[in-house]
Amino acid sequence: MKTTIFEKAGQVAIENVDKPTIQASDDAIIKVVRTCVCGSDLWAYRGLEDKTAHSANSGHEAIGIVDSVGSDITTVKPGDFVIAPFTHGCGHCAACLAGFDGDCQNHDDNFSSAVQSEYFRFQHADWALVKVPGQPSDYTDGMLNSLLSLADVMATGYHAARVANVKTGDTVVVVGDGAVGLCGVIAAKMRGAKRIIAMSRHADRQKLATEFGATDIVAERGDEAVAKVMALTNNAGADAVLECVGTEQSNDTAMKVGRPGATVGRVGLPHEPKMDMTDSFYKNTIIAGGIAAVTTYDKQVLLKAVLDGDIHPGKVFTKAFKLDDINEAYRAMDKREAIKSLIIL
């Protein structure tokens, strides 16, 4: 079968390998229908983090058909259409019961990888997989794309809004205009925010943010962005801030645009060695966030919202590719020619 291999910074490639097999009683083998490139995949592609040459790729988002299952699997069977979350919770540990299955305490290896393939092995599958009614052929392309977003970016955007405690009537700032930030706009609207200020410098992303529910766009960055947000809020600041990038500047901005006592929901993967917490101390800023509880959100709210047509997060996929063209899919995102690259098998 075909799978994506990280060759070196700036290059991924397709390699033929053996189809994965069941290795544990709670495994499932998934035949991929659609996968994609995540912003976090670009860290190694851009040479911003160390990764071994010619190693398994970090791709981790997919929808597909269950091909085979281990003996302990009771919730899905071969032939079922499923969302494969990038996190693999158990559903019954303290973290999962509290709604933080991304931090499952029973699974040491609870993250997907090597999903940009024709087939992949999904570990701890019994509770974590999310079954979708019917078959892929029952859905439009747009709906399939929205279902794919539930493997990561829509759930991650929702996690930012949840841990930031976004509630009805709030003013929310979303820092980051990638797929997660755009989904954060959707999530803030779902949770009742009356004003959503999206930070974006790119026309296509600004347009999509507005379509998703943003009421204001701030194109500036750094201190100018902070000043613009404060002006928009009559110098009060936002009730909640969704940090969806992970850089030093994005975190600094997020800490400065909230009102005293605001909550910052951080889902941008941190790549900075430290953060100055002094200003947040004097503003009583509440800081929360981390790995998304994908299965919990999908089962409780997001799958129904997509199936009912209430939200359309699949619009973040702005270019489509075949698996054989995976390096071009990465390049398109790296060059900002695509908000998020879709891979159709």
Condensed to tens digits (0 to 9), the pLDDT of residues 119-160 reads: 999 999 999 999 999 999 999 999 999 999 999 999 999 999
- CATH topology agreement for domains 2-152+293-344 and 157-289: no
CA angle 86, 127, 92 (to 5 degrees): 105
pLDDT by residue (tens digit) across 284-322?
A: 999 999 999 999 999 999 999 999 999 999 999 999 999
d(CA 3, CA 112): 14
Q: How far is residue 21's CA from residue 19's CA, in Å, rounded to a whole number?
A: 7
Class of domain 2-152+293-344: alpha beta
Assess whether pLDDT exceeds 70 at residue 273: no
If residue 227 lies in a helix (H) or strand (E), which one and from where to where?
A: helix 222-232
In words, the CATH class of domain 157-289 is alpha beta
pLDDT at residue number 38:
93
pLDDT at 323: 97
Q: Is the pLDDT of residue 89 over 90?
A: yes
Domain boundaries, the chain: 2-152+293-344, 157-289
List, as one string, the DSSP characters of 90-159: -SSSHHHHTT-GGG-SS-SS-B----SBSEEEESSHHHHSEEESS-GGGS-HHHHHHHHHTTTHHHHHHH
pLDDT digits (tens, 9 = 90+) for 112-130: 989 999 999 999 999 999 9
Task: Please give the average per-residue pLDDT across 24-28, as a whole number.
Answer: 96
Q: How much is the CA Rg of the chain, to the nearest whole Å?
A: 19
